Amino acid sequence: MNVAPYENIPLVKGLPLIGNLLTYLRDPLAEVQSLALHGNVVRSRTFFEHVTLLGPDANQFVLHDREGNFSSRGGWAYFIDAVFPGAIMAMDDPQHKHHRRIMQSAFKRSAMERYVQDMGPVIAGVLDRWPEDNGRPMRVFPQIKALTLNIAARVFMGMTLGPEADRMNQAFVDTVAASMALLRKPLPPLTMWRGVRARRYLVRVMQSKLTEKRAKEGPDLFSQLCHAHGEDGERFSDDEVVNHMIFLMMAAHDTTTSALTTMFYCLARHPEWQDRLRQDAQALPETQLRYQDLAGCERTEWVMKEALRMYPPLTAIPREAARDCEFGGFRIPKGTQVGISPIHTHHMPSLWTTPEDFDPERFSPARAEHRQHAYAYLPFGGGAHLCIGQHFADMEVKSVMHQVLRRFRFKVPEGYRMPYQLVPIAKPRDGLPISLQRL
């Protein structure tokens, strides 16, 4: 087959200088669907030019990547180096393989069983304090953010959050905001400056706990990372533990908050599904979910999958071409910024029955729409950088939902539609006001 030169890839110009940035920020799904009208390989600009590769084959080509065509470092470094230096997501092999092998041992089954056991009482304590419905809806997003931060403090760091909770929450908000900042200099009062300042605070918090965590192996993830070792006994240095802890907490916190919030929204709009999940939760023997109960949460898993299909917390995944390669009949030269779009694939009518509809049963064994292609469904990415916290997120979401459903019924007003922003991580613009009724 003839391979067309890079210049022949359709170019969607957008506005001078900023290109398609504003339309992308406003509605990334609509933006990428409009790019798709030009084919599955499209050039566009958001300050700098990049190529979007669309569809499940493109996802596989970029993420499966046995030939080493793409660099994750080249894709992510611009966004995260200033605030998350040493992040595993911005590493390439052989460094990535080395770090991933060690980090993996903090996610072994025995550790996961402890994590789920430890999060139960934290969830119960936070839900005890959720306000009774007094006719005024509760904004659920900030409540869930506080809940997941409390879980992370206990399960990741082995601590109970006190007055520093707000500061830590803000530090993660500021670092994530800095990763997307348009002006990249860390000068006051710019977003990047706030992000770098927040990073320094998080480093101080982690460093102050290092000696204690190194001294004795405990059940929390911090301690597990301090004592984690690869097959040949290799371990993380102090700086590496600190960098990984900060990145892991960020990667876990915002994404899981996003997933739980969109599940709340979907279940509030679809009370019949809320009732089904509540029946399943009530059928389990304990008020707090145990590791062995996870298999009994099948329908919760379908709903989680459906919420992540419709609103994937990471709508796009960036890479840089590490060498010349070709896709869809076009040459992609080394150094090209390349992006794939999970949210676009998740809404392709060729893969999903009425993709705009909330329909959790599409994930049931009988229908299994997500199994049509290995890269049709990718909220957790795929290939070497596949989310290391996928099972952790699954446990956390199920643990929270289990307790929420046994305690509350919740709803949104008839006709309500959640206004959401999808970048950098999907969240409701209005905090998602819901009416909560204690059972």
Binding interface with ligand HEM (CB under 6 A): 72, 88-89, 100, 248, 251-252, 255-256, 259, 308, 313-314, 317, 379-381, 385, 387-389, 392-393
Q: How many CB atoms lie within 10 A of CB 355?
A: 17
106-114 contacts at long range (C-beta below 8 A, 24 or more positions apart): 106/221, 106/224, 106/225, 106/228, 107/388, 107/389, 107/391, 107/392, 111/219, 111/221, 111/224, 112/291, 112/391, 112/392, 112/395, 113/291, 114/219
- Min. distance of Cβ 88 from ligand HEM in angstroms? 4
**Tokens 């999903």 found at:** 352
* Residue 155 or 186 with smaller CB distance to ligand HEM: 155
Nearest Cα residue to 410 out of 260, 272, 274: 274
Which of 126, 430, 380 is CA-nearest to residue 261? 430
Q: Are 316 and 54 in contact (CB under 8 A)?
A: no
CB closer to ligand HEM, 205 vs 260: 260
| Partners of residue 50 on adjacent β-strands | 44
Could you tell me which residues are beta bridge partners of residue 40? none
The single residue listed with the structure tokens 């992040």 is: 87
Least distance to ligand HEM from the beta carbon of 317, Å?
5
Dihedral in degrees, nearest 10, Cα atoms 180, 183, 186, 192: -20
Nearer to ligand HEM, 69 or 255 (CB): 255
Rounded least distance, CB 116 to ligand HEM, Å: 12
Nearer to ligand HEM, 105 or 435 (CB): 105
Which residue's CB atom is positioned nearest to ligand HEM?
389
End-to-end CA distance of the chain: 64
CB of 395 to ligand HEM, least distance (A): 9
Looking at the Cβ atoms of 186 and 236, the one nearer to ligand HEM is 236
Question: Is 180 or 190 the residue whose CB approaches ligand HEM more closely?
Answer: 180
Of the candidates 62, 66, 85, which has an alpha carbon nearest to the alpha carbon of residue 337?
A: 62
The minimum distance between CB 304 and ligand HEM, in angstroms, equals 8
Helix, strand, or coil (residue 1) = coil
For the bound state, the minimum distance from the C-beta of residue 102 to ligand HEM, rounded and expressed in Å, comes to: 12
Which residue lies nearer to ligand HEM by CB, 194 or 297?
297
* CA distance linking residue 59 with residue 340, whole number of Å: 6
Task: Quote the CA–CA distance of 346 and 352 in Å, as a whole number.
Answer: 8
Least distance from C-beta 295 to ligand HEM, angstroms? 19
Q: Identify which of residues 377 and 410 has a Cβ nearer to ligand HEM in the complex.
A: 377
Q: State the nearest-atom distance from the C-beta of 133 to ligand HEM, in Å.
A: 27
